[in-house]
Amino acid sequence: MPANLPPPYFEAEKRYREARSASEKIDALEEMLTIMPKHKGTDKLRADLRRRIAKVKAQSQQKKGIAKRDTEYSVEKEGAAQVVLVGAPNVGKSSLVSALTKASPEVADFPHSTWKPTPGMAHFENVQFQLVDTPPVTKEFVDAWMTDLLRRADMLVVMVDLHADPLQQLEDTLSILRDLRIFPAEAAVPEGVGKMPFIKKILILVNKMDEPAEEDDLQAFLELSETPLPALGISTLSGQNLPAVLQAIYSMSGIIRVYTKAPGKEANMRQPFVLPKENTLEDLATKIHKDFAEKLKFAKVWGQAVYDGQMVQRDYVLRDGDVVEIHL
């Protein structure tokens, strides 16, 4: 018997995936349990939800006893991707995070005002990206804990100051990343790297383009740097090009947004499932619930690559903006 779960169930499921605390996860799971229809087709799902609630409660109790083991500098990933900002002192990382998110990192005219990572959530259309402000890096000093943060990030933003030798700043920052075995996805990994390299999408932001005349300085920097990496000129002071930053992050993140609907109902276009590009219908079903992948019969899809309501099988490769009606 099919589960025939209503749209509010999937909304609660999304809140569970995005929950930051144990109490928020438990609230979402209990809401899913309440919303779910009671019949033979949902018996297994209901039992699984009860197990998940019990597991979260048990983990919450355990974490109270070992919380001190976690460093205050670790940043748990949230949103569609974690984007870590890196650069020399006083390039404007804190100002950018403050401008694009509700976070409040300390912003000052003097260098080294940031001494620990400060995350904030930036909204782009109907998805969110986590931007993480970090202390400055120099050839002389990099905080030891930043190695793990930079290597684990989904994407890096290298910021330079247009007014303070941006060519040297870019060279130094990329050299620091290379020393940490972090290399741009757009460039070949040099020979002789002994251990596993960490390949990252890297966006360059050239800050402090506060006057229109500085467009020529930006073009000179791009020509002289000969960088293969995508780059944008911005001003955190005037707000110039800040919307383009989030557009670039979305384009480089390698994700798609997919929407689900119940038969005969409208799709919820405000809360997409976020998946890597080239994911299939089966991947989506697994993300919704592990049992869905096993029970999946077919789906109907509305999107640019299909006609409206086209029936597809589990190996169908999803496209950005697809609306999917799953049949179990």
Q: Clarify whether residues 91 and 222 are in a common domain.
A: yes
The whole domain housing 232 covers: 82-252
Pairing of the two strands 155-161 and 310-312: unpaired
* Residue linked to tokens 């080294």: 112
CATH of the domain at 243: 3.40.50.300
Q: Clarify whether residues 190 and 325 are in a common domain.
A: no
Least confident of 133-142, 160-169, 219-228, 239-248: 133-142
Boundary of a domain, candidates 39, 70, 101: 70
Task: Please report whether residue 77 resides in a domain.
Answer: no
Task: Please report whether residue 271 resides in a domain.
Answer: yes
Q: What is the mean pLDDT of residues 259-266?
A: 91
How confident is the model over 174-194, as pLDDT tens digits?
999 999 999 999 877 777 776
Model confidence at 279: pLDDT above 60: yes
- When pLDDT is cut at 50, 70 and 90, the band that residue 312 belongs to is very high
Task: Please report whether residue 228 resides in a domain.
Answer: yes
CATH of the domain at 265: 3.10.20.30
- Nearest-angstrom CA–CA distance, 324 and 328: 13
Q: Clarify whether residues 179 and 283 are in a common domain.
A: no
Radius of gyration of the chain (CA): 23
User: Dihedral through CA 35, CA 41, CA 42, CA 44, nearest 10?
Assistant: -170
- When pLDDT is cut at 50, 70 and 90, the band that residue 39 belongs to is confident
Least confident of 91-105, 151-165, 247-261: 91-105
Instruction: Name the token pair of 16.
Output: 């569970």
Q: Clarify whether residues 62 and 91 are in a common domain.
A: no
Task: Please report whether residue 174 resides in a domain.
Answer: yes
Task: Please report whether residue 75 resides in a domain.
Answer: no
pLDDT at 70: 46
Q: Clarify whether residues 34 and 162 are in a common domain.
A: no
pLDDT at 61: 64
CATH of the domain at 24: 1.20.58
- Nearest-angstrom CA–CA distance, 204 and 10: 37
Q: What is the mean pLDDT of residues 205-209?
A: 95
* Residue linked to tokens 């029970």: 295
Q: Clarify whether residues 241 and 115 are in a common domain.
A: yes
Boundary of a domain, candidates 70, 97, 112: 70
Model confidence at 65: pLDDT above 60: no
* Residue linked to tokens 């995508």: 230
Model confidence at 231: pLDDT above 80: yes
Model confidence at 71: pLDDT above 80: no
Q: Clarify whether residues 148 and 26 are in a common domain.
A: no
Q: What is the mean pLDDT of residues 300-324?
A: 94
- Average pLDDT of every residue of the chain: 86
Which residues have CB under 8 Å from 141's CB, separation 6+?
none
String of b and e for 190-224 (b: at least 16 CB within 10 Å)? Answer: eeeeeeeebebbbbbbbbbbeeeebeebbeebeee
How far does the chain reach from its first CA to its final CA, in angstroms? 8
Q: Clarify whether residues 99 and 223 are in a common domain.
A: yes
Boundary of a domain, candidates 217, 252, 287: 252
Q: Clarify whether residues 132 and 242 are in a common domain.
A: yes
Residue 172, CA distances (Å) to 62, 165, 207, 262 in order: 43, 11, 16, 53
Which residues have CB under 8 Å from 87's CB, separation 6+?
93, 136, 137, 158, 159, 160, 169, 173
| Identity of residue 231 | A
Alpha helices in 240-301 (DSSP H): 242-252, 281-288, 290-295
Q: Clarify whether residues 179 and 321 are in a common domain.
A: no
Q: Clarify whether residues 53 and 105 are in a common domain.
A: no
Task: Please report whether residue 76 resides in a domain.
Answer: no
Model confidence at 11: pLDDT above 70: yes
Number of separate domains in the chain: 3
- Nearest-angstrom CA–CA distance, 27 and 37: 18
pLDDT at 161: 96
pLDDT at 27: 82
pLDDT at 272: 92
Task: Please report whether residue 61 resides in a domain.
Answer: yes
- When pLDDT is cut at 50, 70 and 90, the band that residue 66 belongs to is very low
State which of 29-38, 187-196, 213-222, 287-296 shows the largest mean pLDDT. Answer: 213-222
pTM tops 0.85:
no
Task: Please report whether residue 233 resides in a domain.
Answer: yes
Q: Clarify whether residues 321 and 281 are in a common domain.
A: yes
- Alpha carbon 26 to chain centroid distance? 23
